[in-house]
Amino acid sequence: MAYRKFDSEVAVRPDDIDMNNHVHTSRYLDYVLYARFDQMNRCYGMSMEKFTENGWGWFVKSCQIEFKRQLLMGEMVVVRTWLDSFEGSDALVRFQILRKTTMKIAAEGSIVNTMISTASGRAIPIPASVIAQYTQFREQESP
């Protein structure tokens, strides 16, 4: 059993390109953060607003990225993300960044998101209702 993978598309913008003529290192992370935001509502049926209304927020606790291929101006990028596991306040999310034309991996890595109370600013256990919502997206892993 594994969580379903979802894809978001991002068009490379001129302000993403750096002196090496490809997408700047930190923008890969921005593409992932965009994909997670996009997928919250569209794929998981839990918008950022629902979290905010409940006094919950997600913060990035850590991230790690391996860079494999350059991304160039004019490219369309596919950002694939999926939940790996939950532990206490933390949700481990994995991602791949793919060049759409070849679907080859340009980067891959993971992010740990921590749930906080927006009132206290402190970590709180991820509520059972949130985990239940995500659990709908567990399925038999493709072999």
Contact footprint for a second copy (CB under 8 A)? 10-11, 13-15, 17-21, 24-27, 29-31, 33-34, 37-38, 41, 48, 57, 59-67, 73-74
Q: How far apart are CA 62 and CA 109, in angstroms?
A: 11
Closer residue to a second copy in complex, CB, 57/82: 57
Collapsed DSSP state (helix, strand, coil) of residue 80: strand
The answer to whether the CB of 105 falls within 8 A of the CB of 71 is no
Provide, rounded to whole angstroms, the least separation between the CB of residue 62 and a second copy. Answer: 4
Number of continuous H segments (helices) and E segments (strands) in the chain: 3, 7
Tokens encoding 30: 């921005």
Closer residue to a second copy in complex, CB, 2/65: 65
Q: How many CB atoms lie within 10 A of CB 62?
A: 11
Collapsed DSSP state (helix, strand, coil) of residue 38: helix
Provide, rounded to whole angstroms, the least separation between the CB of residue 103 and a second copy. Answer: 21
Closer residue to a second copy in complex, CB, 1/19: 19
Provide, rounded to whole angstroms, the least separation between the CB of residue 34 and a second copy. Answer: 4
Provide, rounded to whole angstroms, the least separation between the CB of residue 99 and a second copy. Answer: 16
Closer residue to a second copy in complex, CB, 67/134: 67
